[in-house]
Structure 1
Amino acid sequence: MAIFLCGGWALDQPEGRAEQQRWLQALQQVLPGEDWVLQKPDGPAQAAAIEIAVVANPPPGSLQGLPRLALIQSLWAGVDRLLQDLTLPHDVPLCRMVDPAMNEAMVQTALWATLAQHRGFFRCQQQQRTAQWRQPAQLRAGEWQVLVLGQGELGGRVARALAGLGYAVAGWSRRPRAGEGLRTLHGAAGLAQGLATADTVINLLPLTEETRGFFDAARFAAFKRGAAFVNLARGAHVDEPALLAALDAGQIGHAMLDVFREEPLPAPHPFWSHPQVTVLPHTAAQTDPRSAAEVVAANVRALRSGAALQHGVLRSQGY
């Protein structure tokens, strides 16, 4: 049986081939002796030999015609693009990536963004451009309210890390959820309460049909005036013109954005030059092939031994 390594890599370009090889080498380290298929199966015999697909946002239709496919393992935490592929086999288990190294990187970025906003360091950076010497107020961490939207693997880790530094943290989810000692909010009433009081709002929601365009003009109007917004999830969560209008009106004091509706972010986009926006090039947390390969290997072994797969996706919920 074979494993199909399939991604959105441009294999006709050196960078795409290099990225595929980087993943292949990491996977071969932890799954030695496997038969790897690196391109579209060459005929029915090779297609029938594929048991597992390890995927990184492959082109739509890539997993059609694989009669013995028993597992689709994503290399990315988000599976929204995969689920938009109407040809994805519905009866094959789909597992998302929960990479411990990526989780730690996400925590680091969220801590940096919150600390820079809380202590006024983004403002100091702006003042440097015009040689202004103004010391921002130094509030205690416990005086800075943080709302983390999404209490899954990433959101929960971020909320606990911030609480560990003394911040006043609340975690929000659609339904009631235990927060392991954290203050938790849920539903429409909890969201309204959290947005009205938070100094920093961090988005780590999954992208589903319910959350697409979640941050629109009405949602930004519900923020505490002057609050900071940190988007570490998906660009499609945000109505970008609405965010720009909220920034210009002072309703949002600062936006730290790692993801965008169009990537790379086009050079003429107003986010690049807006004085209250910090742009990251989708680098808040990248999957680390070394640790991610171990996660893939664990599910491959689980499938073959009949054990439970880890991090399975509930397709009806979109994550």
Structure 2
Amino acid sequence: MINVLFAGHPTRWPEYQIPLRDAFAKAGLSVDLRTDHAADQVDYIVYAPNSPLQDFTPYTRTKAVLNLWAGVEAIVGNPTLTQPLARMVDFGLRQGMVEWVTGHVLRHHLDIDFDLEHQDGSWTRHIPKLARDRKVTVLGMGELGSACATALATLGFDVTGYSRSPKSHPGIRCLHGADGLDQALTGAEIVVLLLPKTPATENTLNARTLSLLAPGAAIINPGRGPLIDDDALLAALKTGQVSRATLDVFRIEPLPKDHPYWAHPRVTVTPHIASETRPETASEVIAENVRRSEAGQPLLYLVDRALGY
């Protein structure tokens, strides 16, 4: 019998209980899934960083901590966490992000907001570029970023991808490193941020890097709030260097009611909904990782502690 502790936020247990049990059974695993296993009897922990469990020291038998979120920045630095940590990458998370990003890229590409702002009886026509003539840069070419970049390239956009380490994807110009970041941003008309949150990525978009964009560029951030210097973005919106921004993530969440983003006519705020872990598909990934571990195979999506993701 494999003892699995569900240590996500307590409110999520009713949503995950049945999908997890079904996934374990489908994988042929004999699992005792609970929220109250004795710490020294736990083989695997299904985890979310907003869990009450923050001290991993008693979990001496635990073979792996399996995160329910794609982001691990809130847990990877925990000094008590010595067990292997796997992040969540699943179809539902990936597909949700692709749909959200594609929708907002098309919104800015077609300048749908222009049409909404001119519903005043005047026959004001504007003809958008074709996708092949629109330069889109995706910052972050991990699982989510590469999926979004591929979808946008399939639609015909001129896509450049940027990552900290070298990557290669068919139909996408891939750049990396400090020089690569500047090249990726120079002349970009739409920028999608999907980098992880690390000390090295904080304020990736700042006054200097925003100045590299094509005048009137659009910013789309479903990644992490600290990737953007908020004051620099507001200043760029004021000058018109950035024409619009769609922001799903923020340094403080929920976004404070008095934050200038709420009332800004060129900013769209969405409440961290770009992509959500879905119990049915996430449970399949959790079960597969337990199966792999029990078979002596390497875990999927293992976090590199040195890199922070």
| TM-score normalised over the length of structure 2 | 0.93
Partner of 2:283: 293
User: Which letter maps to 1:53?
Assistant: I
The Cα of 1:20 is off from its aligned counterpart by: 1.8
Tell me, in whole angstroms, the C-alpha distance in 2 between the residues paired with 1:272 and 1:136: 27
2:3 maps to 1:2: yes
Q: Percent identity?
A: 38
CA distance in 1, matches of 2:250, 2:176: 26
Aligned position for 1:51: 43
Q: Which moved more, 1:131-140 or 1:144-153?
A: 131-140
Paired residue for 1:109, among 100, 106, 112? 100
Which position in structure 1 is the counterpart of 2:231? 241
Residue identity opposite 1:315 in structure 2: R
Of 62, 67, 73, which aligns to 1:74? 67
- 1:310 matched to which residue of 2? 300
Query: Matched residues in 1 for 2:238 and 2:130: separation?
Result: 28
CA shift, 1:131, in A, is 5.9
Please name the residue that 2:58 is paired with.
Answer: 65
What secondary structure, in the 3-state scheme, does the structure 2 residue paired with 1:156 have?
helix
Distance 1:131 1:174, change over 3 A: farther
- The 1:88–1:131 alpha-carbon spacing in structure 2 relative to 1, beyond 3 Å, is farther
The residue correspondences of 1:214-253 to structure 2 (distance < 5 A) are: 214-253=204-243
Q: Deviations over 1:234-273 (max 9, x none)?
A: 1121221221111111111110111111111122211111
Provide the secondary structure at the position in 2 that maps to 1:27.
Answer: helix
Aligned to 1:263: 253
- Preserved CA contact (<8 Å) 2:187 2:212: no
| Letter of the 2:200 counterpart | E
Distance 1:34 1:145, change over 3 A: same
Report the equivalent of 2:17.
24
The answer on whether the counterparts of 1:26 and 1:293 sit within 8 Å (CA) in structure 2 is: yes
Count residues in correspondence.
Answer: 303
Output the CA distance in 2 between the equivalents of 1:26 and 1:63: 25
Q: 1:97 aligns with which of 88, 104, 111?
A: 88
SS of alignment partner, residue 80 of structure 1: coil
Deviations 1:70-93 (A, max 9, x none): 11100111111111322212xx21
Q: CA contact under 8 A between 1:110 and 1:158: conserved in structure 2?
A: yes
Determine if contact 2:131/2:158 at 8 Å carries over to the other structure.
yes
The offset of 1:133, in angstroms, is: 4.6
C-alpha separation between the residues in 1 aligned to 2:195 and 2:122? 37
For 2:32, the aligned partner's letter is D
Listed as ranges, the matches of 1:45-194 within 5 Å are 46-57=38-49, 58-59=51-52, 61-89=54-82, 92-128=83-119, 133-194=123-184
In structure 2, C-alpha distance between the alignment counterparts of 1:5 and 1:60, rounded to whole Å = 10
Q: Let me know the Cα RMSD of the aligned residues.
A: 1.7
Tell me the CA shift for residue 97 of structure 1.
0.6
Contact 1:200 1:227 in 2 (8 A): yes
The whole-number CA distance in structure 1 between the counterparts of 2:116 and 2:254 is 24
Matched, 1:283 2:280: no
Task: Report SS of the residue matched to 2:127.
Answer: coil
TM-score (norm 1): 0.90
Paired amino acid for 2:43? E
Gaps of 5+ in 2: none
Shift of the 59–126 alpha-carbon distance from structure 1 to 2, 3 Å rule, reads farther
Write the distance in 1 (CA, Å) between the matches of 2:184 and 2:39.
50
CA shift, 1:312, in A, is 0.8
SS at match of 1:228: strand
1:35 corresponds to 2:25: no
